[in-house]
Structure 1
Amino acid sequence: MRKRIVAGAALNQIPIDWEGNRNRILEALQQARAAQVDLLCLPELCITGYGCEDLFLSEWVPARAVEALLELVPHCTDLTVAIGLPVRFEGKTYDCAALVHNGVLLGIQAKQFMANEGVHYEPRWFTPWPTAEESTIEIEGQTYPFGDIIFEVEGVRIGFEICEDAWHGPKRPGVSHCRRGGVDLILNPSASHFAFAKTLIRHDLVLDGAQRFRCAYVYANLIGNEAGKMIYDGEILIAQHGRLLKRNALLSFRDVNLVTTELDFDADPEQPLPSLPPYAVSKEEEFAAAVPLALFDYMRKSRSRGFVLSLSGGADSSACAVLVAEMVRRGCNELGVEAFAQKAGCLTEEEMAALLGKAPEVQLLYLTQCLLRCAYQGTVNSSQATLASAQNLAESVGAAFYEWKIDDEVAGYTRKIERALGRPLTWERDDITLQNIQARARSPIIWMLTNATGALLMATSNRSEGDVGYATMDGDTSGSISPIAGVDKHFISRWLRWAEERLGYTGLHDVNSLTPTAELRPLENSQTDEGDLMPYRVLYEIERLAIRDRQSPIHVYRKLVEAELEPPALLRSHVIKFFRLWSRNQWKRERLAPSFHVDDFSVDPRSWCRFPILSSGFTEELKALELEEVPELITVAGRRAESRT
């Protein structure tokens, strides 16, 4: 009988945290032994952390990783364990997984395909290993198999597909395994970043591998915000013969998440087995789970004492406040209030004692008060409606709330420049100047509150603003972390309505009833964000085509005309405006606070989207678009009428 209990373990690691990473691996080994696991798959590069960036170019990091592996080997008793690490071999560095059986290192598998798109730059650090080639490596006087290996452990043939390897269809390593006699089990140690609906793709990859290669398949991913920007959902999938047998809940606040099941490697591939369906989770729910976990890890791993937020009462800053409140709620629901607070590591002894002394129904509100401080910084151009919106939301989630005016600071700056120029500043002549000084005058004092409390300042710019530079540098872009910069404003507005209804944040009622506005011009001007820019729905469609799909201005315009979002002439003006603002504001995107990658694309120039700071600004392309003939608008109903005649 070839029955084995197999498992995958998701780990929340930190780059070059040798002791911490080791302890979390040891915790996974302990949990596996307690569950009588025979074979355990750990995530990719779990010894060092995946996000070491250019540290992988050094020789000392791979060398220290091998030392750490050898320290772990004696702890792998009564288990077969796959452990991810970088290995230096013949002058090159490889992304590897070591297989250890009952305290003995059996060999080291090297990754064959490097992720080199979107947020990944693996070829910068690692060399791909040739398919089906084997070699040997010497470590401390011992020789071990190295390369593309099929292991046999107690009658079970084991092969590997390391993360990106599985995404290469007919070239994926499982195909080579079949040519070499096949395997009973494929292990996939992964560091696959979170993105909306990505779990559905992984589900298909794992089931396809288990079906095509007539084997069992164990997939284990990292979990949490490991290095600052990318989030890992900790997905574990165990399948056999094309059927999903076991998986876990995603985006856990726990450092170790173990999933086990028993497999019969002699089972008939045609035997009917129940298969779990793929996840059916909305984009809104994924956002509400991923970003709070990322904020929690960002806070504790940066050793910060919570967050500070300039809460305007508008959509963007309100979304940031709710995400922190949701961080507290989800973390406490999973870990318990005391364990969550201890893991956060930022409460004083007095705060911890006060927390534990409170009734359960108010503990979450008190914790949020300890971890989130909000300030409404009004001017003569601010409305009573946004003040009430900000105050109501802060009180409803439990955040500490302050309110002050910055008119004196704005007036002081303005007088100095008027003396320097020898003339008064007017709205007719100096609109941008007078708007920006209000946003910038808010920055020093909110930073002061941040520094005084040892917290992280939350920047509130969204991706739509990043596209077109609709944000004041050193104003609303100020911050240590920008939690919503990875999503568009159209989604933020929709998510806030969802959060009010589905998550129960009743304090969002006022926020959701307001028209988005910067409130930087005099109130009688009735300033709105969409009036300054364009409808957010149109802006989203333009960025999707221009940035994600990399279409030229004229192709973007033609696609939008087909979609009939607006009259063609208006669409043309919006496309021209977008590309001009996009190319003019790359320098702003270069200076935005770190953000989380959550969508299938982003405008982060340090990861997904690189664009020159200086360029022609699409001069020829926009001239061609200006000359493009504007078609007569024909509605869908009109086309149907024509077809009837």
Structure 2
Amino acid sequence: MTSRFFNLYSHHFARVAVAIPRIRVADPAYNVEQTIKLAQQAASEGAALVAFPELGLSAYTCDDLFHQRALLDACLEGLQTILAASRSLPLAIVIGMPLRVNHMLFNCAVAIAGGRVLGVVPKSYLPNYGEFYESRQFTPADCASVDQIDLFGETVPFGVNLLFEVANLPLLRFHLEICEDVWVPVPPSSFAALAGATVLVNLSASNVVVGKSGYRHQLVAQQSARCMAAYLYTSAGRGESTTDMAWDGQSLIYEKGELLAESERFSDESHIIFADVDLERLSTERMKATTFAQSARRHAAEVAAFRVVRFDLALPVEHTMPLARGIERFPYVPADRARRDERCTEVYNIQVQALIQRLASSGIQKVVIGVSGGLDSTHALLVCAKVMDRLKLPRTNILAYTMPGFATSERTLKQARDLMAAVGCSAQEIDIRPSCIQMLKDLGHPYSEGTPDYDITFENVQAGERTNHLFRLANFHNGIVIGTGDLSELALGWCTYGVGDHMSHYNVNASVPKTLISYLVRWVAETGTVVAEGQSQVLIDILDTEISPELVPGGAVSHGTDAKPAQSTQERIGPYELQDFNLFYTLRYGFKPSKVAFMAYSAWHDNAAGRWPDETGTRNQYDLDAIKRNLSIFLFRFFKTSQFKRSCVPNGPKVGNGGSLSPRGDWRAPSDSEATVWLDDLANIPDSSKGPPP
């Protein structure tokens, strides 16, 4: 179990490769030698599939040499050589070559594994414009009169309707098309994806001209996104004839619109790129997007025409094989600064637009909000400020209240006051302690008699009194209460039922996780979007404040603004950066805990491949034991104890594809389910002491 846990294939990843060999025109023996070397390199790196460029055995630029028998025979001899070499290689190899079938010449992709030809796919669309004259030498696939051919005494499937499936990794089902096939309005790979292909492979030559590199990216990204598939795009490099064209060897690996790997362009040497494709993610995306199946049904004839060729591979599942794919530690927060700023801009504007619509539809012009001096209420207040600006209403229409209680620290109280002043809202302060004492006295609670009993009732009385004040203030001033609780708190059930971090008239933070809220506040501070540049320090101070409910008296009350609060939220429920990671992959993709833990380990351990948002954030690291411990907390709270709170949350906008927990949106679940199956799966994960060597 130990080695299997640390093996990417055990978690339905597949390592794929695209090879760019240096070739010689019309020299199959040399080209075969380069092909075998790169295939061996791919196998040594644990790849299950490697793809080579279009007509790679002969070179793409042979022109009328394709009609020379000596060249065609040499390509067949080269194919035999590759077949012999493949017997000892535990991966599928896809090569490009010219092939004669029934007195016609086809531009073909040949799939090979374990010393045999799995199938041959001819090119469907032959470009005959601009610099291309393929119809001069080749015949298009739809002219073929057979669906199987004889190669070296074996009967081999032939046609564009072939799917190749690894029997011992069935989610790895790949389809082959050739260059121009993906440049047409309806590529063959579109139907292949509907028939179950998760990996689409394009053997291309693709000469280079100005602007073509960017267009390739757009083309491959869109096809992989639309088909909910991985897409491997090969391209010819050094060695092709430059009589009338040039070649850059640009090869790409995309997964559902996201670039995983790209080759070096204009390289002088043979080289190869790798990526670990998440096959389960692709399968889950298709399962959740029910329109994918509807589209398959509407193209039932095309889907039914596909033939599946199954074969086994000796995958290295018994060996430690760490994930080479970069896993971002903050899946809700892009690591790249430009993308992160774009994300913050969009999320912020979604929240603002949603609240504008709610106020406009209700005819209400005032909002009521509780300001604690912590992260969530800070961001909600910043959203309210921009809403008033957009509605051309004074910011004094924001009725903001800070309500210190028994454990409110000097630091957070000062931050609440400074924040309200910086925003320019109507700022007021209500001491809730007298009303709390009255409530505790009515309950007969020991605290009302002077006994320091800080139980859950003591905490919830404070939270309840704040909420009661806010709703009555909204009644009195004809406003609505703006909620501040975030997605992370809802996931973990870290909110008191029916009070301010759970209940409101409208919650702008409902689908924003804690890690993203931190960066939203920082983004506002840096851009001056709401608060003037000279007043943004309060936002930085809030970001540096430890997250605490501040309901139990402690050192912070009596020891000034630098004191540590008596309660630490993250010590109780785990670090938000890790719990948000767990939330994303559980909610968005429904991955098993063992896979979530494997991905977390890949991102967060000492030698992790995951990335940090570049200029901020602590550099925490988590070993496997810490990952398991916090994931256990998450699973128990998420699946067992917290759904009843999520079943009645107020309205609020969904902001991202990471999902929401609204019962009217992404998440509908019973309030009395068990967490057993998730915790059982987690229990099978090895301890850190049994982990792989660093």
Name which one, 1 or 2, has greater alpha-carbon Rg.
2
By relative contact order (CA 8 Å, sep 6+), the higher-ranking structure is 2
Return the TM-score normalized by structure 1: 0.48
* TM-score normalized with structure 2 length: 0.45
